[in-house]
């Protein structure tokens, strides 16, 4: 049996299927392949289920209201003030109506579409809803709809390196003070809730903290490769769980519901916002549909009974910024998992570590990719050499294989027997060229995900026309070089005996090049360098094999 022919047909068929699937996505249709994964744990309710649940109203229908509040809690006729906080890395808008973080601009990261603007994560515009909301439940207490009063203070970070915004609200016999603390060069925002019982009887409030977002992909996302956008939950018991908006919509999403550790988050390509509570803090975790195409993920923490005149506090950490592995690992256990490497994380993490070490020396991510590709190629040199030697032997006996096909084309059984006899006589293993390549596939896939998931590639220049390794080549130079290198490889490989198969192989470089027109230039750079090195190695090995055959 001609194993190589079967393998090539499978590769070609999968390539066509992937192209068709991406074309379907490009035209707004749901994908057939890789529609999104959801790592699920034990069944859980889609909302809180603690002793205060009865005090938690049903979701409101207004955007940004994931936990509804009674009419008594809403100052309907009073409009809040927007306070803008500016640091070296943030420009944050906080509304005194609820103390809601409604806009967060990252000053060190450019927008995906318009490079003259900065990317905005939190937003409350006509095209995007992405909010951080907190408040109290368990009574008619201050919520994210209550009007707060901002204390005087600076709004722009000074030489001290720390900037605070303090907001106060008093309602239902309870005073809530929210304190936002921003620090220089730090994507962590400290958020403290101080609750004081100003009434005459004991109260049992709970603090809710939630991230609210619409279910649409970020603008500028490519339809030719899939990245995850949605909520995530992490606990020590249930580990990392990605949650799909469509399952939250149907109320069928399953995730951890109670824990005394972990975090909740909203993930999109390259960036993440996560709410992290202190260790050992008992909390309930919920997800829910808020309104049409609007969803929330959050936690509820009971403060217990607070006597008249007494107080209770809850310290919270909000991380909102790039998915930089080292920073995420320092922030909270498991938070680095939001940088999704897929099922080959165990291989991808060491590869990224190696990349960072190379980058420390070279200082340029483009050259880092090239050097990394060379190192990987060197590591697999023996396997590649074995594969190319097998291909060289196959190439030399191709005329004999063609002759066998012609002589026995009407008798497939005798054809296979003759082929097996030829392999035995020439000492050729028909799988010799395939198996070494199969062994390398997990590494290549891991490297693909490393390059695709690493925010370090975003807006990172290489040289000349490549000013963003995370964006497609603006002049398609690398995809064209990719096509040329694949064409050369096709010429070096054994010519398929089947004429139709040979024509298909000639079209393969064109097919793959069309796909690579839409891929990040960093990925295409890797493939071009890998192909050039493979061509050089294969040419040398083939030449030696031919010389040995001629001298025999």
Q: Which SS3 state, helix, strand or coil, does residue 413 take?
A: helix
Instruction: Locate 391 and state its tokens.
Output: 């291909």
111: burial class by Cβ within 10 Å (0-12, 13-18, 19+)?
middle
Q: Is residue 475 part of a domain?
A: yes
Task: Looking at the structure, tell me whether residues 332 and 389 fall in a common domain.
Answer: no
501 with 13: CB under 8 angstroms? no
- H helix intervals, 257-336: 325-331
Last residue of a domain, one of 318, 339, 360: 339
Tell me which residue of 316, 348, 537, 533 sits closest to 453, measured CA to CA.
348
Low-confidence ranges of the chain (pLDDT < 70): 1-78, 223-224, 430-437, 494-499, 501-502, 505, 549, 552
Task: Looking at the structure, tell me whether residues 402 and 426 fall in a common domain.
Answer: yes
Q: Is residue 52 part of a domain?
A: yes
Q: Is residue 344 part of a domain?
A: no
The Cα-based distances of 126 to 75, 89, 130, 298 in angstroms read: 23, 25, 11, 23
Tell me which residue of 33, 40, 35, 34 sits closest to 16, measured CA to CA.
33
Task: Looking at the structure, tell me whether residues 403 and 281 fall in a common domain.
Answer: no
> What confidence tens digit (pLDDT) does each residue in 191-216 have?
999 999 999 999 999 999 999 999 99
Task: Looking at the structure, tell me whether residues 314 and 367 fall in a common domain.
Answer: no
Task: Looking at the structure, tell me whether residues 102 and 141 fall in a common domain.
Answer: yes
> How far from the centroid of its chain's Cα atoms is residue 343's Cα?
13
Total domains in the fold of the chain: 2
The secondary structure of 487-509, three-state, reads HHHHHHCCCCCCHHHHHHHHHHH
State residue 507's pLDDT score: 74
Q: Is residue 400 part of a domain?
A: yes
Name the phi and psi angles at 160, rounded to 5: -65, -25
CA distance 453 to 345: 12
Residue length, the chain?
A: 552
Task: Looking at the structure, tell me whether residues 163 and 62 fall in a common domain.
Answer: yes
293: burial class by Cβ within 10 Å (0-12, 13-18, 19+)?
middle
The Cα-based distances of 68 to 65, 125, 321 in angstroms read: 6, 21, 28
Last residue of a domain, one of 281, 306, 339: 339
State residue 47's pLDDT score: 39
> What confidence tens digit (pLDDT) does each residue in 422-481 have?
878 877 776 655 666 677 788 888 888 898 899 999 999 999 999 999 889 999 999 999
State residue 9's pLDDT score: 45
Domain around 394: 3-25+349-551
Q: Is residue 203 part of a domain?
A: yes
Instruction: Locate 55 and state its tokens.
Output: 């005090």
Task: Looking at the structure, tell me whether residues 298 and 439 fall in a common domain.
Answer: no
Torsion, Cα 491 496 497 502, to 10 degrees, reads -80
Q: What is the mean pLDDT of the chain?
A: 84
Task: Looking at the structure, tell me whether residues 316 and 447 fall in a common domain.
Answer: no
> What confidence tens digit (pLDDT) does each residue in 339-377 have?
988 788 899 999 999 999 999 999 999 999 999 999 999
Task: Looking at the structure, tell me whether residues 476 and 539 fall in a common domain.
Answer: yes
Q: Is residue 224 part of a domain?
A: yes
Q: Is residue 484 part of a domain?
A: yes
State residue 382's pLDDT score: 85
Q: Is residue 32 part of a domain?
A: no
CA distance 472 to 466: 9
The sign of the dihedral angle between the CA atoms of 125, 129, 133, 138 is positive
Q: What is the CATH number of the domain that holds 211?
A: 2.70.98.90
Instruction: Locate 486 and state its tokens.
Output: 């694949």
Task: Looking at the structure, tell me whether residues 437 and 327 fall in a common domain.
Answer: no
What residues are paired with 196 via a beta bridge?
175, 311
CA distance 300 to 331: 21
CA distance 328 to 272: 10
Task: Give, for 265, the enclosing helix (H) or strand (E).
Answer: strand 263-268
Question: CA-based Rg of the chain, rounded to a whole angstrom?
Answer: 29
Say which residue the tokens 């570590």 belong to.
353
Last residue of a domain, one of 317, 339, 361: 339
Task: Looking at the structure, tell me whether residues 181 and 212 fall in a common domain.
Answer: yes
CA distance 16 to 25: 14
Task: Looking at the structure, tell me whether residues 145 and 229 fall in a common domain.
Answer: yes
Tell me which residue of 299, 295, 317, 319 sits closest to 65, measured CA to CA.
295
Cα 180-181-182 angle, rounded to 5 deg = 120
pTM of the model: 0.80
Tell me which residue of 313, 298, 141, 117 sits closest to 211, measured CA to CA.
298
């Amino acid at each position: 049996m001609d194993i190589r022919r079967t393998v090539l047909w499978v590769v070609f068929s999968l390539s066509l299927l992937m192209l068709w699937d991406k074309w379907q996505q490009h035209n707004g249709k749901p994908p057939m392949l890789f529609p999104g994964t959801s790592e699920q744990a034990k069944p859980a309710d889609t909302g809180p289920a603690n002793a205060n649940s009865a005090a938690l109203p049903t979701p409101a229908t207004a955007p940004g209201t994931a936990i509804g509040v009674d009419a008594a809690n809403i100052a309907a006729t009073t409009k809040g003030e927007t306070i803008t906080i500016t640091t070296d890395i943030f420009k944050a808008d906080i509304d005194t109506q609820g103390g809601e973080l409604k806009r967060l601009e990252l000053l060190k990261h450019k927008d995906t579409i318009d490079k003259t603007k900065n990317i905005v994560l939190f937003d409350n515009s006509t095209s995007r809803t992405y909010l951080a909301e907190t408040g109290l439940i368990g009574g008619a207490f201050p919520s994210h709809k209550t009007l707060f009063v901002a204390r005087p203070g600076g709004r722009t970070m000074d030489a001290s390196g720390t900037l605070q915004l303090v907001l106060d609200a008093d309602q239902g016999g309870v005073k809530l003070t929210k304190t936002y603390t921003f620090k220089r060069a730090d994507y962590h925002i400290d958020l403290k809730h101080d609750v004081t019982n100003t009434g005459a009887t004991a109260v049992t409030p709970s603090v809710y903290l939630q991230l609210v977002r619409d279910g649409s992909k970020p603008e500028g996302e490519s339809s030719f490769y899939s990245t995850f956008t949605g909520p995530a939950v992490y606990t020590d018991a249930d580990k990392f769980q990605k949650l799909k908006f469509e399952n939250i919509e149907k109320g069928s999403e399953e995730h951890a519901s109670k824990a005394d550790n972990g975090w909740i988050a909203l993930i999109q390509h390259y960036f993440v916002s996560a709410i992290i509570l202190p260790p050992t803090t008992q909390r309930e975790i919920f997800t829910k549909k808020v309104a049409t195409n609007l969803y929330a993920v959050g936690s509820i923490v009971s403060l217990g009974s607070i006597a008249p005149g007494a107080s209770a506090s809850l310290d919270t950490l909000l991380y909102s910024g790039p998915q930089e592995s080292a920073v995420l690992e320092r922030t909270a256990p498991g938070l680095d998992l939001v940088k999704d490497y897929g099922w080959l994380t165990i291989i991808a993490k060491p590869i990224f570590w190696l990349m960072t070490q190379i980058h420390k020396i070279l200082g340029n991510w483009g050259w880092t990719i090239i050097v990394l590709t060379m190192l990987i190629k060197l590591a697999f040199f023996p396997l590649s050499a074995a594969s190319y030697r097998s291909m060289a032997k196959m190439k030399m006996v191709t005329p004999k294989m063609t002759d066998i096909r012609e002589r026995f084309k009407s008798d497939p059984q005798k054809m296979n027997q003759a082929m097996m006899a030829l392999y035995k006589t020439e000492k050729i293993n028909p799988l010799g060229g395939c198996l070494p390549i199969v062994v390398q596939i997990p590494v290549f896939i891991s490297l693909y995900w490393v390059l695709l998931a690493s925010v370090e590639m975003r807006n990172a220049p290489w040289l000349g026309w490549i000013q963003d390794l995370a964006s497609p080549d603006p002049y398609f130079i690398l995809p064209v070089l990719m096509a040329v290198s694949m064409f050369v490889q096709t010429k070096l490989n054994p010519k398929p005996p089947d004429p139709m198969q040979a024509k298909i192989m000639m079209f393969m470089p064109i097919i793959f090049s069309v796909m690579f027109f839409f891929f990040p230039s960093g990925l295409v750079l890797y493939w071009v360098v890998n192909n050039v090195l493979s061509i050089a190695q294969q040419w040398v090995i083939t030449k030696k094999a031919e010389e040995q055959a001629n001298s025999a």
